[in-house]
Amino acid sequence: MCKLNKNLNKTLNNMGLSSKIPLVAKLSYCAHLIPSLIRDGHCISLGGAGIGKTTTIKNSSNKFKNISKVTSPSLFGNLNSKTPGLISNLYDVVAVEQISSIKSLDDDLINDLLTHCNEDEVTRLDETYENRTSLVFLGNCDTKYSIQSCCEDKSLPHEINTEFFNILPDDFGKEQGLERFIFLPSFHLRKIKTSSIIKIDDNSFKESVSENRMNFNNYNIEEMSMRAYKAHCKIITTLNYFINNNSGLHESTWIFKGFKAFASSLVQMSTEQKYTHFYYKNEDGRKLALALLLDLFDEDDVIEEAHFLENRALIKLKEKNFWYKVALNYIGEYENKIEYEFYNSNPENFISKIIEIKDKDMILVQEYVPLESDYFKVKNLDFLYNNKESEIDSLKKLLREQNEILYTQLKENIVLKRHLHDLTSALNHISMGGFTGIESPFREEYEMLIKKEKNLKDFHKILANCPKFEKKEIKNKHFGFKDEKFWLVNFADLIK
């Protein structure tokens, strides 16, 4: 079975964080390792206060410096005293705190920063340095985009748009500045509590990262701008180092494709000024996300079915008649909580039974009802189980499926021949002046379909007339069909 989840949890612990947080938060913190590991790993991290932006980077580098004021002499060297600046062999990472409070920068500094973040040399002292210092901008985003602020007033955060970047100094909120940085989804992090902090007893992790600092690996990726390509490679190289033991990574593997899906979700912020979760409507992202959720279940559990909605995953285990609704981010935890509370206060007979909520709202357990939509489903789960036994089981399954198809086709041919015979006989009776009623061979299936459609209309009417639900479109992802009845499964966004 894949061990990526264990490597990710170990990395978080090395950074001083508990792994008892949603998947999006885990990967967001892991992405904060880019500046420490990658030369020229320039990043921007904008989110709420107290979420650990500075701490996570500091805990991953022996050569870290954070500052609140920036000048060309302090960063690139003082011409008068002939002393080197912070961007030199002195530091691997320089983090500029509270970038949102810096409204403007002088032209010389802007030019130097843009030159350095384009991976070019700034030679103020006529000196070159072997080291390539990563520059990180840290700041608090507008509260309407912060998951932390929105959770406090029980609302959903505003989607990332062009206004999100207005908080940056002018020349870095524009295309030429944005594309020089990797944006980290820190707006999806919330304030770190004492229960989420792990004591770090030694500096071995920081020492290891500093000793193994590297240039990014080049990968074969589809056509894109050079800056977007470099950003993808830097992110993938970092994920591979910390989550996949820095193993050889081929572009055809599901792991690479999953890493690339995550990279694309970050690069999208600088190239398109918007953000989409890497697993949402993305099969490659779904597979990576599912592999990283395995620590939530026992070693012997086998995942039989999985769907990834925007904020939660619905997972069914073999031989267990439940949906495990796993929060993928803090909004998912909120959705689990309000569904649990709503069901206990309103045990409607059209809502699939909710059993329990556990792990601090991380998992909601609900009676299994097959969803009407497979749009968000992981299409093939074989990648999770790569041992010999599972390979044999997969072969057996394939042979059984092929045998069933052949048997069905043979049976259908026999039935078709019979009905053609009956049709021919009936036509012969008509031609002889008689008439024999012709019964459709599909009558039973047709009647069942008509009955199901009627049940669906009645189900929609019930939901539309429920005063505690919003008047909005009910989609197939919201409900399922079982025992000749429709059941509401996902309904957090319907609750008023």
Q: What is the pLDDT of residues 421-432, one digit of tens each?
A: 777 777 777 777
Residues in a beta bridge with 363: 326, 358
CB 55 within 8 A of CB 148: no
Compute the distance between CA of residue 124 and CA of residue 82 in angstroms, rounded to an integer: 9
Q: Can you give the pLDDT at residue 394?
A: 56
Q: What is the pLDDT of residues 287-317, one digit of tens each?
A: 999 999 999 999 899 999 999 999 999 999 9
Average pLDDT over residues 467-492: 93
pLDDT at residue 242 greater than cutoff 60: yes
Q: How confident is the model at residue 393 (pLDDT cuts 50, 70, 90)?
A: low
Lowest-pLDDT range, 33-37, 85-89, 173-177? 173-177
Q: What architecture does CATH give domain 4-272? A: 3-Layer(aba) Sandwich (3.40)
Q: What is the pLDDT of residues 376-390, one digit of tens each?
A: 999 999 898 864 444
DSSP summary character for residue 299: T
pLDDT at residue 451 greater than cutoff 60: yes
Q: What is the pLDDT of residues 178-212, one digit of tens each?
A: 999 999 999 999 999 888 888 888 889 999 999 99
Query: What 3-state DSSP class applies to 141?
Result: coil
Identify the CA nearest to 335 among candidates 312, 354, 306, 316. 312
Q: How confident is the model at residue 479 (pLDDT cuts 50, 70, 90)?
A: very high
Q: Helical H runs in 306-442? A: 330-345, 388-431
Tell me the average pLDDT of the chain. Answer: 89
Average pLDDT over residues 228-256: 96
Average pLDDT over residues 466-480: 91
pLDDT at residue 339 greater than cutoff 60: yes
Phi, psi of 39 (to 5 degrees): -65, 135
Q: Can you give the pLDDT at residue 12?
A: 95
Q: Can you give the pLDDT at residue 196?
A: 85
Domain ranges of the chain: 4-272, 387-431
Q: Can you give the pLDDT at residue 106?
A: 84
Q: Can you give the pLDDT at residue 78?
A: 86
pLDDT at residue 39 greater than cutoff 90: yes
CB 95 within 8 A of CB 54: yes
Q: How confident is the model at residue 412 (pLDDT cuts 50, 70, 90)?
A: low
Q: Can you give the pLDDT at residue 60?
A: 95
pLDDT at residue 395 greater than cutoff 70: no
Q: How confident is the model at residue 444 (pLDDT cuts 50, 70, 90)?
A: low
pLDDT at residue 461 greater than cutoff 70: yes
